[in-house]
Chain A
Amino acid sequence: MVTFTLNGQERTFDGDPDTPLLWVVRDFEKLTGTKYGCGVAQCGACTVHLDGMPRRSCITPISMVEGSEVVTIEGVSGKEADAVKTAWAGLDVPQCGYCQSGQVMSAVALLQMVPKPTDADIDGAMAGNICRCATYHRIRAAIHNAASSMEG
């Protein structure tokens, strides 16, 4: 039995301890905003926050999550999350949208750590989030916009 906090609520999982966190979130908790992309931490679509840090849920056994706090795209909150959501909508960042929950989770984590990121900071933090629609230019611009909006 694994006990953890998911978007602020205590949850338990008593299945196979090797079950990836991604499958627990999607199949058992029915929170399908977090996406399966590659299954091997190469694409970033499954990014969640684990104890406040970005983490690829596809390669995170649920046993590793015991006692931890997990936040998904459905539960992410705070000034950075608000700023990112507003900036994303303002620039109409997504195209197909499949990778975007992972992009948003990485962007929010970056802004929590680096409130005013440079292009290099953004490239460094977002390099593991692949977008087949190549919306990278809008992602970078939206992160700058989100950072600027938090200053005022």
Chain B
Amino acid sequence: MKFKLAFAGPALTGIAAACLFVTAGTALSPASVAQDANADARTLRPAASFQSIANEQERSVALFTEAGKVIQHPRCVNCHPATDRPLQGASMHPHQPPVFRGDGGMGLPGMQCTTCHSAENIPVVGQADTVKSIPGNPAWHLAPIEMAWEGKTLGQICQQIKDPARNGDMTMDELVEHMAHDELVGWGWNPGAGREPVPGTQAEFGELIRAWVDTGAACPAS
């Protein structure tokens, strides 16, 4: 192209200029803005980057809002259902086959989580593109009903996870530890083939929660 342009007349140069214009226009198109938004949905801002918010309470809310990209992701909410039935998939539909909470959130007698789920994600072969693996983790189970997140706003979830009666009687330090290191929480970043992981890394998520607690654990208004 450059070689041709070097020997081209004004007409071809004009076309090239038009191409450059179109290219520049593409960079600012709604589609690329959407791509940026998608990339933003897959990553977490570092906790340190929130230092630019001078007001501590506003910073705390902003930190939790960023962590909310993980907390409200289907990978997390699907096993924090508001009923006794887990949800499934990116569309968060009721789990198929129909399974229910049971003792300890591990299913009913004869149809427990471990009837199908293993200690690790199990790839399947020879299936439709929409089914690539069966998710699994050694601790696979539903969150207790008092920890239900389904249908709640981020502000409601925020208040809930600070409440010992609804967070498994955890102190804030224990909550940070749970978010930052719990193995089943960590599954969200390693959900197996065919499933979108939650944004960022568990370490980044843990740092956001730590910083949120350190700034007073303020909650979004809604």
Contacts and interface: CB of A to CB of B under 8 A. Distances in A.
A2 interface: no
B109 A61 contact: no
B115 A53 contact: yes
Contact of A124 (B96, B100, B126, B131): B100
A68 B124 CA distance: 22
A54 B115 contact: yes
B98 interface: yes
A39 B110 contact: no
B170 interface: no
A59 B111 contact: no
Interface size, A (range): 20 to 34
Nearest to B124: A40
Contacts of A110: 109-110
B134 A40 contact: yes
Contacts of A126: 110-111
A141 interface: no
Nearest to A124: B108
A128 interface: yes
A76 interface: no
A61 B110 CA distance: 21
Interface in A121-152: 121, 124-128, 130
A128 B9 CA distance: 72
A41 B126 CA distance: 14
B91 to A, nearest CB: 16
Interface in B64-116: 96-100, 102, 108-112, 114-116
Given A40-B131, A40-B134, A59-B124, A124 B116 contact: no
A130 B98 CA distance: 11
A1 interface: no
A76 to B, nearest CB: 14
Nearest to B131: A40
Contact of B97 (A55, A60, A128): A128
Given A110-B110, A126-B110, A42 B115 contact: no
B97 A124 contact: no
A128 B116 contact: yes
B110 A56 contact: no
Contacts of A124: 100, 102, 108-111
Interface string A43-67: 0100100000111100111001000
A91 interface: no
A19 B171 CA distance: 44
5 contacts: A40-B134, A47-B115, A114-B110, A124-B100, A127-B98
Question: Which 10 A-B residue pairings sit nearest by Cβ, starting from the closest?
Answer: A125-B110, A124-B108, A110-B110, A128-B97, A41-B116, A113-B109, A127-B98, A59-B134, A125-B111, A40-B131
